[in-house]
Amino acid sequence: MIVLTFLATFLAIGLVSFVIYLKWSFTYWIRRNVFTFPTSLPFGNAKDQFLQRASIAKATVDIYREVKARGLRYGGLHFMFQPIFVPTDPILLRQMLSVDFQHFTDHVDYVNEYDDPLTGNLFTLRGAKWKAMRSKMASFFSSGKMKLMFQTMVDCTKELPNVLDAAILKKEAVDVKEIFSRYTIDIISSVIFGIEGNCLKDSDSDFRKFGKLAVAPTGLDAFKVFLIQIIPNIMETLRVTVTSKDVEYFFMNIVKQTIAFRDANNVDRKDFMQLFMKLRDEDIKATTKTDNNESRDGETVYYQCGLTVNEIAAQAFIFYVAGFETSATTLQYLLYELTENQDIQDKVREEIEQVLGKHEKKITYEAIQEMTYLDKCIYETLRKYPPVPAVTRRCTKEYKVPDSDLTLEKGTVAMLPIYGIHHDPDYYPDPQIFEPERFSEENKSVRPPMTFLAFGEGPRMCIGLRLGILQAKVGLVAVLKDYKFTLNSRTITPLQFDPTQFILAPVGGIWTDVEKL
């Protein structure tokens, strides 16, 4: 009885101490004279997101609009234990992301290269190693490389008519995201791994199966991802793995087998895997500024002799996941807008017909570059529906916020409220209206910098934006030239965003009816 009483008292004291600590931590921004919303235990300002009642997009809009309404340049949020700095002013954003980038070089995502090798990718890597890897891979996405891979993209559209024709024959609605995911997976599996994904032919292919599992983990893997958002430092200290073992095995095995086959048979292809293989024999090095007093002259030097197979697999994995998911997401929203705005759909189709008419009816790299109205439609879609509604940066060196009394401590997380900025009527009047002409050269020239952030900005902006834009254009041209799309009643309108997904996903998906022209 005495033991039980002792345990009960101990637990009660522990619980009270925890609550007191949380309450104190929720005063972080108040103590620094930074605006923040009222908090609730134990979620801070993220109750609706934790309980999956509201999307991340809504959270970014709420804080962004409130900060702007108060005439402030930044605000703060509490994500349970983690205080989040939210800059809203374009001038401050430019300062942080470009001018003072050395203070915000890292993403916040989990990295554990030893136990969880696929997490050691270009998106999650930090400091000098990230810089070294980025500098080596920047050339992978040059316009010259895109031209070399362009025909592969076109070849991957050949199965799209078969899928659409089958739906027409059966008088079935089309799940736009599903079809475009299979299309983009076919492209990415080919240009990254040099392997035919065959997802348009076989919706149950391994590439589709493990691609889904990678972007939407289930069960214990999903719970570990959740814990990483709350206690990232503890999870890294405990060396907890977050990648599904099935996903890890699939991608690691493909990379090992592909490299072994090419080495044994002296195969040389024009794809990313070949470029990765060349890096096995090249020095990888970089220097970054640091506030570590043990580093000579305030700099950190990173050096390694070539890429390992695990590092190649990690880079191939992130290019694969990011490449298919974000492009498919963009395509589904664009097609939705084209069904809701038939005049715009007709105008895009007219441009496609006119341009292809000058190129022997063939989809060529040069033809795609001439489709300027299609380009505006892509960017307006990314404006209205940024696939990632918010991105984070970690403060890697103590930072004095310009023109303020606030100093951000090392380790503070900054959140860029992309969705909020993209729906600001000061930059985009009537932001809910789909208007491609927002991205005419004239309109872009009068808009402040840092008001379009779909790809991020500064040295850490998306390295694969050329590939993503190009494959989206090719896919859309391939279907719009021969088919007309109208919205099916299965689509829930107005669109609602799924609170369980970080990537901007519509509840119930987007379904269209298809008519062959």
Q: Which residues are annotated as a binding site?
A: 462
- From the list 5, 137, 26, 48, the residue with the least C-alpha distance to 500 is 48
Dihedral Cα 378, 470, 388, 98, nearest 10 deg? -100
Q: Which residues have CB under 8 Å from 97's CB, separation 6+?
A: 104, 393, 416, 450, 456, 457, 458, 460
Retrieve residue 284's tokens.
């990888």
* Beta strands 413-416 and 511-516, pairing class: unpaired
Burial degree of 225 (CB within 10 A; 0-12, 13-18, 19+) = middle
Measure the CA–CA gap between 216 and 395, rounded to whole angstroms.
28
Measure the CA–CA gap between 508 and 183, rounded to whole angstroms.
20
The residue with tokens 């989206």 is 472
- From the list 331, 345, 271, 339, the residue with the least C-alpha distance to 469 is 331
Amino acid 97 reads L
Measure the CA–CA gap between 397 and 395, rounded to whole angstroms.
6
- From the list 447, 439, 416, the residue with the least C-alpha distance to 85 is 416
Measure the CA–CA gap between 212 and 206, rounded to whole angstroms.
10
Retrieve residue 143's tokens.
């316009």
- Find out whether the peptide bond into 494 is cis, omega within 30 degrees of 0: yes
Crossing angle (nearest 10°) for helices 176-193 and 465-480: 130
- From the list 487, 513, 506, the residue with the least C-alpha distance to 328 is 506
- Find out whether the peptide bond into 117 is cis, omega within 30 degrees of 0: no
The residue with tokens 């890294």 is 236
How many C-beta neighbours within 10 Å does residue 278 have?
Answer: 13
* Beta strands 82-87 and 74-79, pairing class: antiparallel
The annotated binding site for heme is made up of: 462
Q: Which residues have CB under 8 Å from 421's CB, separation 6+?
A: 64, 88, 90, 427, 450, 451, 453
